[in-house]
Amino acid sequence: MRTFFRNENGTGAIEFALIAPMLAIVLLGTMSGWAYYQQNNSMRDGVEVAGKYFLQGGTSADVGLEIAEAAWNGKPDDGTVSLNRTCICDGAAASCSGVCSDSSIPQTYWTIEASSYYTDPFFVDPIFPHGLPLYEREVIRVR
């Protein structure tokens, strides 16, 4: 009987069986976090590229929208991008086609917003059943 309890054959297999599930959970969690980071970063890239278009003198909302969507790699079906141009004279909203009362050019701002939902490929999230919301907003002053 003493030889049975002193026999260490199979000890490594038992240790591996105890540790392997924890390692698998850590691996899947890391992969899930990386996928979230990649999708969020890709959306941010689309917004930033559209912002650079307006900073370099672009004036077309349609072209800015196309640029943002083209730069958003792997854009999901529920992903949306919106653009809004606002002009301000003396702290109040003004027409973008005219001049201010003091004959100055109005300040022009472009607001670029992108939103989507991140759906985890490995886990079903009971708190966010439709996915985790992602949102990116950038305001660009061009004049």
Q: What percentage of residues in the chain have a pLDDT greater than 90?
A: 48
Q: What percentage of residues in the chain have a pLDDT greater than 70?
A: 90
Q: What is the mean pLDDT of residues 76-100?
A: 87
Nearest Cα to 130, choosing from 142, 141, 110, 115?
Answer: 115
Mean pLDDT of the chain: 86
Asked whether the predicted pLDDT for residue 129 surpasses 80, the reply is: no
Asked whether the predicted pLDDT for residue 8 surpasses 90, the reply is: no
Select the more confidently predicted residue: 17 or 4: 17
CA distance 24 to 88: 55
What confidence tier does 14 reach under pLDDT thresholds 50, 70, 90?
Answer: confident
Asked whether the predicted pLDDT for residue 4 surpasses 60, the reply is: no
| Sign, Cα dihedral of 96, 100, 101, 103 | negative
**pLDDT score, position 5:** 62
Q: How many CB atoms lie within 10 A of CB 113?
A: 16
**pLDDT score, position 100:** 83
Q: What is the mean pLDDT of residues 12-41?
A: 89
Estimate the share of the chain in helix, then strand, then coil, as percent rounded to the nearest 5: 45, 25, 35
Q: For the range 23-29, what are the long-range contacts, defined as Cβ-Cβ under 8 Å and sequence gap of 24 or more? A: 28/122, 28/123
